[in-house]
Amino acid sequence: MEWTRTAGTIAQRVAGWVTLAVSRVAVAPKVTAIGRPIVCLAEGSSIEIGSGTTLISRAPNTPLGVARPVILRTLRPGARMVIGEHTGLSGATICASISVTIGNRVLMGADVLIADTDFHPVDMVPRRFEPESRAAAAPVVIGDDVFLGARSIILKGVEIGAGTVVGAGAVVTSSLPPGVVAGGVPCRVLRPLAPASHDESGRPAHGTRAL
């Protein structure tokens, strides 16, 4: 039984790597992909994944499970998606029409959604057949050491400062400063992180853990 479980895990990692390799993603060393992510790149766009990052696309491999595989998708020519080093994604969906930048050591709970576009024009009726390129879009930036709770949603134009914690299920429609705990719909700042838990840049201090 243990041998079967180990062999299955190895097979899932190989499947994940093959998917990334054939998808024109720039993958740094020591990236782990458990299960097959869904990766789609628009012509002339790019996706980069930093060293030590983990992508989990299978429910048995993460405590909360995942509703879907990791989805990485660029939608327009020239779009850019950058995922930093030692970042963890569990069933996350990330869509970039212009730019999505995710820092180092970012934690994403199960089924986080990040998008820099509205996908469809908001003020145009009828909108059913309008192309995504006519939708409003603005870059998204997630700082180092940010913790995005399960099923949180990060929308276009948002910048989240280093070390900040976003509560589960939050809908983030505007930027958040570094070093705070935020949550709700729409998301708002609830309190600062405990003083000992982050340094002046908002990054967790040595020997402490983000909340």
List, by residue number, the catalytic residues.
Answer: 120
Main-chain phi, psi angles of 82, to 5 degrees: -125, 125
> How far apart (Å, rounded) are the C-alpha atoms in residues 204 and 210?
6
Beta bridge partners of 56: 34, 90
Q: Which residues contact 84 (CB under 8 A, 6 or more apart)?
A: 50, 53, 102, 103, 104, 105, 106, 144
Element (H, E) at 17: helix 2-21
Q: Which residues contact 88 (CB under 8 A, 6 or more apart)?
A: 53, 54, 56, 106, 107, 108
